[in-house]
A and B are shown apart, each in its own frame.
Chain A
Amino acid sequence: MALIELRDINKTYDNGQPLHVLKGINLDIERGEFVSIMGASGSGKSTLLNILGILDNYDTGTYHLAGKLIKDLSEGKAAEYRNRMIGFIFQSFNLIGFKTAVENVELPLFYQGVPRKKRHEMAMEYLGKLGLTDWARHFPNEMSGGQKQRVAIARALITKPEIILADEPTGALDSKTSVEVMQLLKQLNKEEGITIIVVTHESGVANETDKIIHIKDGIIGEIEENASHSAWTGSMMK
């Protein structure tokens, strides 16, 4: 069984008039893959990401993550699965402003009930891996965008999740930093074997991944094997 197995996922939003956003999504993602989901805004890619991240429910179909059926979970159970199986990287970093870098990285372990000292050590270790040891005591607003995103990556990694979900991870970064962040994700995938799913609308970003899944009008279109990273010529950024 694949790490992620989506079968005929349907999702309809009902705000006054029903809006059928996902129209039968079938998708398998294997352990250790580095894929991107590409689509224009309104294509349903954010909704798909939310369902993958157990942030939202779907109406019909099945979603198995690491062999577990993810359906109609209680809020507490959903929180626990998110905590243990999923690492999030967001476009706007989503660090807590009044917490230092190390405190932000510690937070997922806090919700696992890991003792204070242990979790501090682990957080420092991950910050070290990402070259942020000197910034551990700094608050997010004292750091550059690239540094903030690396803190967020450290926070996503610290629970050793099954998958990393990155929602437009370079969207708020300049092109040089974007390249660095994508290189970092690539490196994590290659060296640590972490499954990474990047949601983006930038083809340059998608080109850095090994497989590009195109989504359009709520259904999966073309799935492009991109091991050679040659789907798009030219520079990474438009």
Chain B
Amino acid sequence: MRDLLNEIWNSVRNNKLRTALTGFAVSWGIFLLICLLGAGNGIINAFQGSSDRFVTNSMAVWGGITSLPSGGYKEGRRIELDKGDLQITTGKEFEDNVGVVAPVTNSVNDNLILGTKAVRTSMSGVTPEFQAIEKIILQKGRFINPLDLKEQRKVVVLSTKHEKEFGGGNLLGRWINMHGFSFKVIGIIQSDESDWRVSAYIPYTTMKGIFYPGDEIGQISLTFNGIHNLKESNEFESRYTSRLKTHHEAAPEDPNAVWVWNRYSQNAQISQGQRLISIGMWILGLLTLVSGIVGVSNIMLISVKERTHEFGIRKAIGAKPRKILSLIIAESVSITAFFGYLGMGLGMLACEIMDKTLGSRTMDLGFDTIKMMDSPTVGLDVAIEATLLLIVAGTLAGLIPAWKAAKVKPIEALRAE
């Protein structure tokens, strides 16, 4: 082993420029591979982060606008969900699949007034189930409970974002004025800048009683059970929404009469997207690495040619072809591994820098803001995979040159001077 290392060291020392150039090609390949994988992971993590924020086997439906004439009506009719839809949802027909149901009524842009300060926000009337479906995490206090609902209490759940907008003070227990009514703050939701669930939540019955009398329901959120794959999810979605559309005398096949946000389907698509990104990054990275390998191979070939005479001497005094073969492959693997690790280290550094800069940036999608990247770094598993890859790559790169070297005929090589 020591002899082999000595041989390699001698060869490297005697060909500094060649080794540096070879090394650069490999370092660059691995550097790009790590950067790509890091960026890919960042995007995947950001996706994951946004889908982690809700229960995946849930969906929300809203009334839409018909795009097909049906039941004697022209297209372009606005559909409002109502109590009937709620009854269908909770009724016998879908009881095998429907779990928790939460009707929601939203209003856009209301003023919250506290003392002399006013903050603009949306307001939602919700039931206690809403918390579970939307994975709402309270920082302090409590969420709307059944008693609030029953007694139509004037209570409100705000978020840390509201607290910040009001100047950072503790709002829990304070009375807030909305549309001339005083609401008591009973809970504060943990939220960050990118959270779309920032709203003033009041009991559903209070909302209906004070602001929206009538049968209309803005949105129905529900969880569903017994769905195991994308196909079943899509099937349930189509069966359920067709039923709602029929209830409103819209064509069951009308895609716009009822709007759905099926998080199960979305999540499945995201997972697939993540896989594709991951595969894509590996392919791109590997292709880059291939150019590095070709570089190593090429330079090793030149080196073997330059050392023909030396190999001839070695063979004349008793080196078996296998010895020469292993010498060249060992040299190739050593160079590849050393510079590969250098590139990997730099790549990981670049990922850290990416994390510090792009990692905090968010993207506004209109209905939601998401992070562009979340911890764009690679883990130990990738480092190990990359190590194996380097060894394989080094061996591949050394194979042809080594074979050429092993085939050197001593007589011809000795003549070569």
A112 to B320, CA, bound (A): 10
Chain B interface size, under 10 / 10 to 19 / 20 to 34 / 35 or more: 20 to 34
Contact A108 B14 (CB under 8 A): no
Q: Is B169 an interface residue when CB atoms closer than 8 A count as contact?
A: no
Shortest beta-carbon distance from B2 to chain A in Å: 7
| Chain A 107-125 interface 0/1 with B at a Cβ cutoff of 8 Å (1 = within) | 1101110001000000000
Residues of A within 8 A of B13 (CB): 98
Contact A79 B14 (CB under 8 A): no
Q: Is A99 an interface residue when CB atoms closer than 8 A count as contact?
A: yes
A76-B322, A99-B10 known; A82 vs B3 contact (CB < 8 Å): no
Contact A79 B320 (CB under 8 A): yes
Q: Is A134 an interface residue when CB atoms closer than 8 A count as contact?
A: no
A38 to B13, CA, bound (A): 42
User: Closest residue to B13 on the A side, CB-wise?
Assistant: A98
| Cβ < 8 Å to A, chain B residues 272-320 | 309-310, 312-320
User: Closest residue to B15 on the A side, CB-wise?
Assistant: A98
Residues of A within 8 A of B2 (CB): 116
Q: Is B99 an interface residue when CB atoms closer than 8 A count as contact?
A: no
Residue of B309, B318, B321, B417 near A83 (CB, 8 A) is B318
Contact B318 A55 (CB under 8 A): no
A156 to B314, CA, bound (A): 12
Q: Is B128 an interface residue when CB atoms closer than 8 A count as contact?
A: no
Among A15-23, A88-96, A222-230, the one that faces the other chain is A88-96
Contact A80 B320 (CB under 8 A): yes
Residue of B3, B309, B317 near A108 (CB, 8 A) is B317
Q: Is B411 an interface residue when CB atoms closer than 8 A count as contact?
A: yes
Q: Is A7 an interface residue when CB atoms closer than 8 A count as contact?
A: no
Contact B321 A79 (CB under 8 A): yes
Shortest beta-carbon distance from A155 to chain B in Å: 7
Contact A88 B10 (CB under 8 A): no
Contact A110 B3 (CB under 8 A): yes
How many residues of chain A are within 8 Å of chain B by beta carbon? 28
Q: Is A191 an interface residue when CB atoms closer than 8 A count as contact?
A: no
Residues of A within 8 A of B11 (CB): 98
Residues of A within 8 A of B414 (CB): 55, 90, 94
Contact B10 A79 (CB under 8 A): no
Contact A92 B417 (CB under 8 A): yes
Q: Is B323 an interface residue when CB atoms closer than 8 A count as contact?
A: yes
User: Closest residue to B324 on the A side, CB-wise?
Assistant: A79
A104 to B318, CA, bound (A): 13
Contact B318 A111 (CB under 8 A): yes
A98 to B10, CA, bound (A): 7
A56 to B411, CA, bound (A): 7
Residues of B within 8 A of A98 (CB): 10-11, 13-14
A96-B313, A110-B3 known; A50 vs B411 contact (CB < 8 Å): yes
Residues of A at the B interface (CB closer than 8 Å) are 50, 53, 55-56, 75-76, 79-80, 82-84, 88, 90, 92, 94-99, 107-108, 110-112, 116, 155, 159
The 9 closest A-B pairs by CB, nearest first: A83-B318, A111-B318, A79-B320, A76-B320, A55-B411, A108-B317, A94-B313, A98-B14, A55-B410
Q: Beyond the given A96-B310, A108-B318, please list 14 additional residue pairs across the A-B interface where CB-CB is below 8 A.
A: A55-B411, A56-B411, A75-B320, A75-B321, A80-B318, A80-B320, A82-B317, A88-B316, A94-B313, A94-B414, A96-B313, A97-B310, A110-B3, A155-B317
